[in-house]
Copies of this chain bind each other. A is one copy, B any other.
Amino acid sequence: MDIGKYKSHDRILVAVDCIIFGFDGQHLQALLIKRGFEPEKGKWSLMGGFVNQDESTDDAAIRILNQLTGMDNIYMEQLYCFSDVNRDLAGRVISIAYFALINIADYNEQLQSEHEARWFPLDKIPALVFDHKEMVATAKARLQAKVTNHPIGFELLPEKFTLPQLQNLYEAIYESELDKRNFTKKILALGILNKLDEKEKASSKKGAFYYVFDKNKYRKLHSEGVKFI
């Protein structure tokens, strides 16, 4: 491909870094790895990698996420481009950050060990390389804002979940407690959850009914103006 007039301009290394969120039932977690190469080898880091000539940053993020988790079809969205001149100790690299939401139970523990990956609760993130701390903070803020108007919280839960589990999730994301009755009322009023006959009995004696998110009902409703929790 002819690069024509562009020849004389600076070319820059472009990376993607992924903030991967999971939920263990109580706390919101981020998946971090021990960085495997210099500089800063051995330090905690987001999973990342370089963007190739023949792939979009979206494709690169998908590839890199799959490398770490073995998972496909993960909810992911572009977060922000971090481009400070000295953000990477080894040279000029701009990074397009992505955040991903995964059901922590689907996560393949086996792959984890190759990269020395570990989940950290968001309030216990260790020191991270470069500007990764800022990336995590930005991702958390984006998640909080987004979850208010979009049904992405379900990405962090198993297919079947109970209302108490869902409420715990929202409480973890918002870092504040919600009223059980108001929460139930609001979420059920949306008409996007289907109640199953089955109960989850592990976490209480009475047991809580399972629900599933009905994407079709949501789409119909989503023509205009959705408000979540």
Contacts and interface: CB of A to CB of B under 8 A. Distances in A.
Interface in A2-55: 2-6, 9-14, 37-39, 50-55
A3 B91 contact: yes
Chain copies in complex: 2
* Interface residues of A, dominant DSSP: loop
B91 A4 contact: yes
Nearest to A57: B83
B53 A10 contact: yes
Contacts of A51: 10, 12, 83, 94
A77 B39 CA distance: 31
A58 interface: yes
A132 to B, nearest CB: 17
Contacts of A202: none
A89 to B, nearest CB: 9
Nearest to A88: B6
A147 interface: no
Contact of A56 (B4, B9, B84, B90): B84
A144 interface: no
A4 B81 contact: no
Nearest to A37: B5
Contacts of A55: 85
A76 B91 CA distance: 27
